[in-house]
Amino acid sequence: MSTKQLQGKWGGFSDKVFFDNDTATDRARACCVLFRDEVAFAVNDGKPFAGFVPIYYQTQVVAGINYKILVMVSDQVGARGHVMMEVFWPPGPKAMPELTCAKRE
């Protein structure tokens, strides 16, 4: 794993990393895809979002990596807001991430 991919720091969260086409965002982007429905269930009464666009993320190195991901969401009529997702990704090549928190900002 390159140092660019491991951007967190021990004890605190990294600076904000904005989503673009950089491969360093692959894991954070995967979290958004994996947990979109769970986030909708948690903060949108189970109704799917019409729009779900990740804005930035931060990482924290623990025994694995914690991700804080800010996502712009919109509903079917165009109302917009933001959701902060928190995901824990354990170490290991076969480890599966876990959504630990989702709340409206």
Establish if 1 belongs to a structural domain.
Answer: no
Whole-model pTM: value is 0.85
pLDDT in tens, 44-101: 999 999 999 999 999 999 999 999 999 999 988 878 999 999 999 999 999 999 999 9
More confident residue, 12 or 21: 12
- For residue 73, give the CATH number of its domain: 3.10.450
Torsion of CA 16, 17, 20, 26, to 10 degrees: -130
pLDDT band at 20 (very low <50, low <70, confident <90, very high): confident
Number of domains in the chain: 1
**Structural domain that includes position 54:** 17-104
Polymer length of the chain: 105
Establish if 4 belongs to a structural domain.
Answer: no
